[in-house]
Structure 1
């Protein structure tokens, strides 16, 4: 087994909601700040967006691989994800993340098999497994 190391660099300036930063991942740089909904600048993406995005990208790739392995028809997967922050502003907690997959090119007569695969992808995606036990991570409606 090989251990892999991933590195990002963040540069932040400004205090609290008035600040913003740049996150560098490889040769890509992303502007980030606190979300406007939480009194922040709303510039670029938020840490909440990045968390939801990390889980969603892993989930979508894992789901596609499972569907392919199970020989279920699929052309493309589209995933809408929702994150819920509760207790703002005094007891802020990222409490829930729900993924809603749409399988383009799927066979509607196999809806049950797609739903099982969607749940399996949630359980197998290693980024998603990292939040299990801390965040209520669910699969919403599976659409074909």
Structure 2
């Protein structure tokens, strides 16, 4: 598979989970902190929060794009929400892994139509494609 990027960004982290992460263009500068549940003080954001925010936004955009490519799909309502819940924990074999639960709400559309749009979004979303086969992702629709 060949990818020709239309946009590239870069960020540099220092200090690991108790450090900082900054984009090279300076538009994002995040203080990082280990969650209390993982033995930290819970001060600052963590990589799982950043992944959840990015995945939710990207996936919603992918669903919108999908409806422009497949005219049989209903348009995504303006008040649509996507919640991505990212969990981290030890893997049975070694190291750590993540899982993702996505909740899609599209007021005014029936559940079957929302499911079609959600499925189409996963086919397009680069986050979904990047983790396919590596991360357990469940999607619920309303």
Question: Which TM-score band applies after superposition, normalised by the shorter structure?
Answer: 0.7 to 0.9
Where does residue 101 of structure 2 map in the other structure? 98
In the aligned structure 2, how far is the partner of 1:85 from the partner of 1:92?
A: 11
- Equivalent in the alignment of 1:107: 109
SS at match of 1:94: strand
User: Deviation of residue 43 (structure 1)?
Assistant: 1.5
2:122 aligns with 122
Unaligned runs of 5+ in 2: none
1-structure distance, mates of 2:34, 2:120 = 33
In structure 1, the residue matched to 2:85 is: 82
**Cα distance, 1:73 vs structure 2:** 5.4
Aligned pair in 2 of structure 1 residues 138, 57: CA closer, same or farther (>3 Å)?
same
TM-score of the aligned structures, taking structure 2 as reference length: 0.77
Change (3 A) 1:77 1:2: same
Structure 1 length as normaliser, TM-score?
A: 0.76
Task: Rate the CA distance shift 1:73–1:133 in 2: closer, same or farther, 3 A.
Answer: closer
- From the superposition, tell whether residues 114 and 67 of structure 1 become closer, same or farther in structure 2 (CA, over 3 Å): farther
Give how far 1:53 is off: 2.2
C-alpha RMSD of the superposition: 2.5
Q: What SS does the corresponding residue of 2:75 show, helix, strand or coil? A: coil
* Displacement of 1:84: 2.6
How far 1:137 sits from its partner (Å)?
1.5
Instruction: State the alpha-carbon separation in 1 of the partners of residues 31 and 58 from structure 2.
Output: 22
Tell me, in whole angstroms, the C-alpha distance in 2 between the residues paired with 1:35 and 1:52. 15
Aligned partner of residue 19 in structure 2, secondary structure = strand
Length, aligned pairs only: 133
1:20 to 18, 21, 24: 18
2-side partners of 1:79 and 1:73: how far apart? 12
5+ residue gaps, structure 1: none
